[in-house]
Amino acid sequence: MDKLYFGHPVNTYNTLLEQELIRNIQKSFSLFELVNPNLPFHQQKYREFKEKFGNGMKYYFEVVLPEISVGVFLPFVDGMFGAGVFGEAEFLQKRDKSIFQIDWAGMISPMKIDFSRRLSIEETRKRVYGK
């Protein structure tokens, strides 16, 4: 079964929004196995890579994303993408994989990489963690 990756900001993890969006994605892409980076297994691997290599995202770019056929990505409410989520979408597009955007209402549409919608790491952290 082909895999679909759901890239979304960490401040949406473990929320009702996340659950609703996952239901919408699974309905729209029922033939795909959904890969959610919020699962405990992935969170543990992220921590291990961060400790070992200094960058937890390395886990997603080297282990998870190369196995993915389709990506669905959630921007912030204003349509801007966090640095990590944007990087994941860009990674898949460069490999000719289909990428989609899902908005906060659950609407899914085709996505094209637009660098004007990418936040810096600092801007992303400020939105996610308030720092």
Burial 54-71 (b: 16+ CB within 10 A, else e): eebbebbeeebbeebbbb
Q: What is the pLDDT of residues 31-73, one digit of tens each?
A: 999 999 999 999 999 999 999 999 999 999 999 999 999 999 9
pTM summary value: 0.95
Q: What is the pLDDT of residues 84-110, one digit of tens each?
A: 999 999 999 999 999 999 999 999 999
Q: Under a CB-based contact definition with an 8 Å cutoff, are residues 73 and 101 in contact?
A: yes
Which distant-in-sequence residues (6+ apart) come within 8 Å of 95 by Cβ? 66
Segments making up each domain of the chain, as ranges: 3-129
- 3-129 CATH: 3.40.50
> Distance (Å, rounded) from C-alpha 60 to C-alpha 65?
6
